[in-house]
């Protein structure tokens, strides 16, 4: 199978200029996004919007909501980040990523304003998404926050529904080094008299969310927990509010994400029948989340302690007492002390590597840090070498998990001949 052509020459040039905006760094604040949207004619103003924030499960919950709404015949915009293979994945209408020529046209149209106000990468992509959804006249758009909530560029919207996934420790260098500070930032998407659906949170987080809801004259509905969860090697079955469901995603946490999505959909459209919800859950393809690459090799983009803990739990539940092997990469070492606690003692063999583009921790730097934490590991020179070694190791009865980042998705999917040639992600 030939690997897909990921970008056109024209798009490559435009994306270079778009990625160059990252030199402006992460600027938490709404002023630039408001100015860019003003230039575009305020495309967000006439959109029906669902806004999702949280730490883990944001993307999966967005994808569930999108899939259920599409099963109901709605034309749905979906804005998520990061992308796995192509930038275009971030902005979709009915599952179809934004076209190359649409990205080029937007950047040509808005380029002068972007340069003038020194808009960041995420501010620009948020404006691009909202403009794209307006141009395609979507019935509803599902918007995932990028970082935090209060000052995240997506917080320029006035949503019809707000959804909050589990809140835990992540991006502490930006959002704050306590759960209270992080929860305050996430709670910042709660708007005046706008309904909020949340998963059950810790008492600390719950207090902050309820306080913000009271301040904004609104209420929070807590989604019921799923029950009778049965994980299988290619799906998860569960019950929610007396009805049985099946999702194509794997893990107890994915049942919880699906339950939150169901609660959100029922708030948005109380008359939606269970068959449509089931169809939406069942047909979802959301790569990089406990994704089955082969019979006994899985890939999860989990990069923080809660995400990694859930991925490890899923594998151990599916394959109890099987030899367990890992291939691990990580972007930064700031949270490695916390992550290391959950990795320690989990694997029969743990390989570590880095990406070919240099976004991640150097292989030997990661290996040395893990060794200092008392975690035995084996550095390998590349992801491709690591995958080949994993394939050899598990020929007997073992199972393997590749995890730690989305930056290696392209290399993984090429090795396993997973293609997005149809254009549908």
Among candidate residues 294, 309, 319, the one with its CA nearest the CA of residue 392: 294
Contact 329, 302 (CB under 8 A): no
**Tokens representing residue 72 in the block:** 């109901």
Q: What is the number of alpha carbons within 13 Å of residue 97 lying toward its C-beta?
A: 22
Q: What range defines the domain where residue 161 resides? A: 9-283
pLDDT of residue 425: 45
User: CA 297 to CA 279: how far, in whole Å?
Assistant: 27
Residue 86 lies in a domain: yes
Phi, psi values for residue 301, rounded to 5°: -80, 0
239 forms bridges with which residues in the sheet?
Answer: 227, 244
Taking phi over 0 as left and psi of -120 to 50 as alpha, with beta for the rest, 365 belongs to: alpha
- What's the pTM value of the predicted model, to 2 decimals? 0.92
Beta bridge partners of 227: 239
For residue 385, being part of any structural domain is answered with yes
Which H helix or E strand runs over 268?
helix 252-268
| Residue that finishes a domain, picked among 224, 253, 283 | 283
Same domain, yes or no: 279 and 295: no
Does residue 290 come out as left (phi exceeding 0), alpha (psi in the -120 to 50 range) or beta?
Answer: left
Indicate whether 420 belongs to any domain.
Answer: no
Burial class (CB in 10 A: 0-12, 13-18, 19+), 25: exposed
Check whether residue 261 and residue 336 sit in a common domain: no
What pLDDT does residue 218 have? 97
Among residues 248, 283, 318, the one where a domain terminates is: 283
Q: Report residue 227 as tokens.
A: 């029950």
Both 84 and 187 in one domain: the answer is yes
Whole-angstrom Cα distance, residue 141 to residue 62?
10
Per-residue pLDDT of the chain (425 residues; tens, 9 = 90+): 333 344 555 788 888 888 888 765 556 679 999 999 999 999 999 999 999 999 889 999 999 999 999 999 999 999 999 999 999 999 999 999 999 999 999 999 999 999 999 999 999 999 999 999 999 999 999 999 988 788 899 999 999 999 999 998 655 555 556 888 999 989 999 999 999 999 999 999 999 999 999 999 999 999 999 999 999 999 999 999 999 999 999 999 999 999 999 999 999 999 999 999 999 999 999 999 999 999 999 999 998 888 999 999 999 999 999 999 999 999 887 678 889 989 999 999 999 999 988 889 999 999 999 999 999 999 999 999 999 999 999 987 899 999 999 999 999 999 998 875 544 44
Distance of CA 375 to the CA centre of its chain: 28
Spatial separation of the C-alpha atoms in residues 44 and 57, rounded to whole Å? 25
- The candidate with the shortest Cα–Cα distance to 252, out of 235, 229, 228, 274, is 229
Residue 272 shares a structural domain with residue 302: no
**Strand extents, DSSP E, 264-347:** 291-294, 297-300, 324-328
Reported as half-sphere exposure (CB side, CA atoms, 13 A), residue 354 has a value of 16
Cβ atoms of residues 76 and 142 within 8 Å: yes
Report the relative pairing of strands 243-247 and 236-240 from DSSP bridges. Answer: antiparallel
Residues 274 and 296 reside in one and the same domain: no
Q: Please name every residue paired with 378 in a beta bridge, in sequence order, or none if there are none.
A: 351
If asked whether residues 266 and 333 sit together in one domain, one would say: no
Note whether residue 206 is domain-resident.
Answer: yes
Cβ-count burial 125-156 (b if 16+ within 10 Å, e if not): bbbbbbbbbbebebbbbbbbbbbbbbbbbbbb
Tell me: do 41 and 132 sit in the same domain: yes
Q: Looking at the structure, do residues 24 and 97 belong to the same domain, yes or no?
A: yes
pLDDT at 27: 61
Task: Please state whether 286 falls in left (phi above 0), alpha (psi between -120 and 50) or beta.
Answer: beta
Q: Look up the CATH number of the domain holding residue 47.
A: 3.40.1190.10
Strands (E), 128-235: 140-144, 161-164, 196-198, 220-222, 227-231
The answer on 131 and 55 residing in a single domain is yes
Residue 304 within a domain: yes
314 within 8 A of 250, measured Cβ to Cβ: yes
Q: Classify residue 189: in a domain, yes or no.
A: yes
Residue 397: what are its φ and ψ, rounded to 5°? -130, 15
Q: Of 262, 283, 304, which closes a domain?
A: 283
82 cis-preceded (ω within 30 degrees of 0): yes
| Structure token digits, residue 204 | 């600390």
Claim to verify: residue 215 and residue 331 sit in the same structural domain: no
Q: Measuring CA to CA, which residue among 263, 295, 304 is closest to residue 391?
A: 295
Contact of 218 with 191, CB cutoff 8 Å? yes
Distance between CA atoms of residues 43 and 196, nearest Å? 23
- 261 and 318 housed in the same domain: no
Our count of domains for the chain comes to 2
321, 240: one domain? no
SS3 93: strand
The pair of structure tokens assigned to 371 is 């060794």
Check residue 4 and give its pLDDT: 35
> Is 375 strand, coil or helix?
coil
Kindly report the CATH number assigned to the domain that includes residue 300.
3.90.190.20
In a domain? residue 183:
yes
Within a domain: residue 424? no
d(CA 255, CA 227): 9
């Amino acid at each position: 199978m030939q690997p897909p052509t990921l970008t056109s020459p024209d798009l490559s040039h435009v994306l270079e200029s778009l990625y160059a905006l990252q030199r402006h760094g992460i600027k938490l604040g709404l002023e630039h996004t408001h100015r860019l949207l003003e230039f575009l004619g305020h495309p967000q103003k006439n959109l029906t919007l669902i806004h999702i924030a949280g730490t883990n499960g944001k993307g999966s919950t967005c994808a569930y909501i999108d899939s259920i709404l599409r099963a109901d015949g709605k034309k749905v915009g979906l804005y998520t980040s990061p992308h796995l293979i192509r930038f275009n994945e971030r902005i979709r209408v009915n599952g179809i990523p934004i076209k190359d020529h649409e990205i080029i046209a937007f950047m040509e149209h808005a380029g002068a304003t972007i340069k003038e106000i020194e808009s960041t990468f995420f501010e620009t992509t948020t404006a691009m998404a909202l403009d794209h959804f307006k141009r395609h006249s979507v019935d509803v758009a599902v918007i995932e926050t990028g970082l935090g909530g209060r000052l995240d560029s997506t917080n320029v919207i006035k949503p019809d529904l707000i959804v909050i996934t589990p809140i835990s420790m992540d991006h502490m260098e930006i959002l704050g080094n306590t759960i209270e500070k992080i929860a305050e930032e996430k709670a910042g998407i709660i708007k005046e008299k706008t309904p909020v659906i949340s998963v059950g949170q810790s008492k600390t987080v719950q207090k902050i969310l309820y306080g913000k809801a009271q301040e904004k004259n609104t209420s929070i509905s807590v989604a019921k927990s799923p029950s009778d969860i049965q994980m299988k090697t290619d799906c998860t079955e569960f019950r929610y509010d007396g009805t049985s469901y099946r999702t194509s995603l794997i893990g107890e946490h994915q049942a919880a994400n699906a339950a939150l999505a169901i609660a959100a959909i029922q708030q948005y459209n109380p008359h939606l029948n269970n068959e449509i919800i089931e169809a939406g859950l069942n047909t979802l393809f959301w790569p990089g989340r406990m994704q089955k690459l082969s019979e006994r090799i899985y890939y999860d983009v989990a990069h923080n302690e809660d995400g990694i803990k859930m991925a490890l739990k899923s594998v151990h539940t599916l394959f109890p007492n099987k030899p367990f092997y890992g291939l691990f990469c990580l972007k930064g070492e700031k949270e490695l002390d916390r992550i290391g606690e959950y990795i320690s003692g989990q694997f029969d063999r743990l390989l570590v590597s880095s990406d070919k583009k240099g976004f991640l921790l150097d292989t030997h730097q990661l290996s040395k840090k893990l060794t200092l934490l008392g975690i035995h590991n084996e550095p390998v020179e590349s992801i491709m070498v690591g995958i080949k070694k994993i394939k050899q190791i598990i020929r007997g009865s073992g199972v393997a998990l590749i995890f730690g980042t989305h930056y290696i998705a392209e290399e993984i999917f090429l090795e396993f001949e997973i293609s997005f040639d149809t254009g549908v992600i």
